[in-house]
Amino acid sequence: MHTFRFGGFVAAALAGWIALGPGAACAHAIVVSSVPAAGAVVHDKGGRVIVRFNSRIDKLRSRLLLVHPDGSSTTLELGETPGPDTLAATIGDLAPGSYRLRWQVLAIDGHITRGDIPFTVAP
The number of C-alpha atoms within 13 Å of 9 and in the hemisphere containing its C-beta is 6
What pairing do the DSSP bridges indicate for beta strands 112-121 and 40-42? parallel
Query: Which residues have C-beta within 8 Å of that of residue 38, sequence separation ≥ 6?
Result: 31, 117, 118, 119
The confidence score (pLDDT) of residue 76 equals 97
The confidence score (pLDDT) of residue 17 equals 38
Whether residue 15 is contained in a domain is answered as no
Whether residue 37 is contained in a domain is answered as yes
Beta bridge partners of 86: 52
Number of folded domains that form the chain: 1
Q: Give, as one character, the DSSP assignment of residue 96.
A: S
Q: Give, as one character, the DSSP assignment of residue 113.
A: E
Q: 3-state class of 74 per DSSP?
A: strand
Whether residue 6 is contained in a domain is answered as no
- The tens place of each residue's pLDDT in the chain, 123 residues long, gives 444 454 444 444 434 433 444 444 456 899 999 999 999 999 988 899 999 999 999 999 999 999 999 999 999 999 988 899 999 999 989 999 999 999 999 998 889 999 999 999 999
Whether residue 13 is contained in a domain is answered as no
